[in-house]
Amino acid sequence: MKGRIPLGSWVFIAGEPGTGKTIMCLHIAYANLKEGIDVIYVTTEQPFRDLIDQAAQFKSNLHEYVSGKDRLLHVIDMFKLCRHAWELKKEGTAKVLDPLSPDHLVSYIRDLCNNKQ
């Protein structure tokens, strides 16, 4: 496939503030969502509602993809990760030292994908 991110791949985008990372990621997410492809969007800087508002400024309506049984967009933000870590700790099913650790993030995404099937 020319000009596309291969389906099923993970993409990590990093850079200095103000370089357009968020806008680019929202554009990629929206293009895939319109084609019916699931998207997991991870942000540790912005709450979900801020991302939705920012996408709307660029004519990308993400609201329709985040609810219902057929939802395609799964946003993971720092607040969800912290809440999930505390739930695991309360249940005694896992000891999470840092809610934003890569191990916890991978575990959260794995659980999300397993529950989707």
Helix 102-116 × helix 78-91 angle, to 10°: 90
The pLDDT tens digits for 17-43 are 889 888 888 888 898 899 888 888 888
In a domain, 104, yes or no: yes
How many separate domains does the chain show? 1
Give the phi and the psi of residue 37 in degrees, each rounded to 5. Answer: -100, 130
Question: Per the domain annotation, does 98 fall within a domain?
Answer: yes
Domain span at residue 99? 21-116
* Calpha distance 22→9 (Å, rounded): 18
* pLDDT of res. 2: 65
pLDDT of 96 reads: 59
Rounded CA separation 39/67 (Å): 13
The answer to whether residue 7 is domain-embedded is no
Residue 58: inside a domain: yes
